[in-house]
Structure 1
């Protein structure tokens, strides 16, 4: 079996990929067709055995917020392998080729939601953050809108301003997506429905919004409010959005959203009424360490220098010694081994450990216990200080 991974060359290969994904995910053909169109042919990959399509996936170029900066990232979605080829190494070949391609393109990061964790660990991904399901009962919610704030329905002309508001809302957190068209479409037309927008303005500026659809409630008369997107950049936006949701309680018993228990909307609640549960963990892969380490932000008051040996079995040219220097919120990275400090052993860091450290999901002592990191207590303390931050989370599913 000679395997090759590439973009589909014609409609026949694209149709074969679409049919394969329908079977893999037990999805209707029209749903996969919408996804294929949104992704675009240039970002589809097929796993070929001669003239046969054995598998494939979608690449989703976007960004992810870390340290107050948007880091370029390629999301991986719709990974599927023909049933008879599973267990033959075909899936490993598909992911290995994809990761090597991203490295060659100097893409800093790759992110995905795993159907099975160990499979993606073999490709260098590691658990790096979570997506939580949040249920907010509305019956007991009593919040007044902020004085001077206005609330109105949104229209298509508001979308560019909403995108800028979203970036201000999530940019200080670790892990949220810097969305591109594919993910914006998912929150605005979830599963073919058209969501409605409600916008909060203060002093003539958009300070928050909510995007929602109404779904029949399985537990009550009326409906649930499913919040497909929420942004709030000021305390006034938070209270005004909560007041809006409270006003829907005569027919809606609850609002459901995804993200984190640290979401700004929840931190404005007068009482902790919410039910929070883990929906999924997401995984991260550092596909180009130099690009990833220099693209993200760091706390301006923290500085330090470290040398570490990066291990990456899948991309040998990615492995090797790295010098990291952080000053005033920015990092520089070089590939040369340290010329001073003879006798001081460098840290050893597996690429999976770098992903979990980079996002803030795991601390250096936790990585040591997972045997993904080796270093002295002084080195671990410096590493922990450089990558300290908030708990990584994401609202989007892709």
Structure 2
């Protein structure tokens, strides 16, 4: 198989490919694979050309991803590297096709990655999973709240409480796309020496924390976790209190964050007008991508809104994994789904033709992956020419796949 796992002796080969691809130092990659870093060499993959020579590499590791208060296993794809001399020969695409087959065989529901090109990964069935607000606002616009008095500096003794708080927040239905963390991810990424920590503690309970960096220019938010509204306000007020030193707040925030609605003005008056009287309050930036890999498992394992009852036939065209193209019957009730084959592959068109139009949805896998992430509604997809289904079917599918916006804090970026 051209796409394969590696032997331990091939670590330098992978490190060399990654270093050439991303203009970095091979020693840095070797250290990350062998010195107790985020992943081990067993999570590396190589792609060989027709002569059996390694020409491309990637990393594949697995975490549990939060969704609607539950969890799904996600295959995380990172460092998809093809050296300059091997580009535009199809090696990267063929390597990704091998990866998708590996994930489908092990019935992994979804895969995540951060794209170098959204269009390229869409052609492989990935879809955008989220947009985030990137804000850079003057500290003078931030409010104060009395809950600030419950915020203190965290010490090493608080690390266990921080981890517990993170896990509690991760499984809140309002926080989708959060990943489980290994010991290395906590110690070498979240708890890096340059990340300062503040803790919200009230009534003997840690209800939130902030990982941040502070200098004379800005407070940069690394992670902002709150399990109560008062904790969220207290941590925002703590940030505001740094205005005597820092000029600006910098943060990548989930779309549902109330920060922009707490500012005294939603923009900096010193900024130029963008249009008419409008100034920039924040930048809307794209985030990571998600792909539904094993369609039946992704539908079965997902949690659904408890008040939604639906019965749909889905025909999802997947040009990479044909098994996903079989029409499926999706029945949802009491927050759970029943998934069955809607037809034999050979007469799928006849079955869909005989199905009530109100229940039939047709789309491609990249579009369905965006629907699955809740970042796109069925009607939006239909208007964009990416989905077929009538009004009732679109309303039903959008209700079934309703989810709070996905977000991922910097310690989980990969």
Shorter-chain TM band: 0.7 to 0.9
Equivalent of residue 358 in structure 1, options 366, 372, 384: 372
User: Residues 324 and 212 from structure 1, CA distance in 2 versus in 1: closer, same or farther, beyond 3 angstroms?
Assistant: same
Q: Distance in 2 between matches of 1:159 and 1:291?
A: 35
2:311 to 302, 305, 315: 305
Q: Which runs of 5+ in 2 are unaligned?
A: 269-280, 345-350
CA distance in 1, matches of 2:318, 2:145: 54
Q: 45-54 vs 112-121, which deviates more?
A: 45-54
The secondary structure found in structure 1 opposite 2:247 is: strand
The 3 A distance-change label for structure 1 pair 223 and 294 is same
2:48 is aligned to 48
On the 8 A contact 1:129/1:283 being kept in 2, the answer is yes
Determine the structure 2 residue equivalent to 1:134.
135
2:356 alignment partner in structure 1 = 344
Deviations 1:102-153 (A, max 9, x none): 1111111111111012221222112221243222422343403328x63222
Structure 1: distance between partners of 2:191 and 2:203? 30
The alignment partner of 1:177 has SS state of: coil
Aligned length: 386
- Is residue 2:341 matched to residue 1:319? no
Question: What is the correspondence of 1:211-230 to structure 2 with a 5 Å cutoff?
Answer: 211-215=211-215, 222-230=216-224
Q: Is the 8 A contact 1:145 1:236 kept in 2?
A: no
Mapped partners of 1:252, 1:122: distance in 2: 44
Contact 2:218 2:248 in 1 (8 A): yes
2:57–2:79 contact (8 Å) kept in structure 1: yes
Contact 1:21-1:80 at 8 Å conserved across structures: yes
Q: Report the Cα offset of residue 155 of structure 1.
A: 3.0
Structure 1 residue corresponding to 2:257, chosen from 263, 267, 276: 263
Distance in 1 between residues matched to 2:76 and 2:61, nearest whole Å: 5
Check conservation: 1:238, 1:265, Cα contact below 8 A. Answer: no
5+ residue gaps, structure 1: 216-221
Q: Secondary structure at the match of 1:38?
A: coil
Aligned to 1:219: none
Displacement of 1:355 in angstroms is: 0.4
Contact between 2:8 and 2:41, CA under 8 Å: does it hold in 1?
Answer: no
1:280 Cα deviation from its structure 2 partner: 3.2
* Residue in structure 2 matching 1:245, options 222, 239, 246: 239
TM-score (norm 1): 0.87
Larger relative strand fraction: 1
**RMSD (Å) for aligned C-alpha atoms:** 2.7
Structure 1: distance between partners of 2:32 and 2:368:
31
2:293 is aligned with 1:287: yes
Bigger mean CA deviation after superposition, 253-262 or 98-107: 253-262
Per the alignment, residue 102 of structure 2 pairs with 101
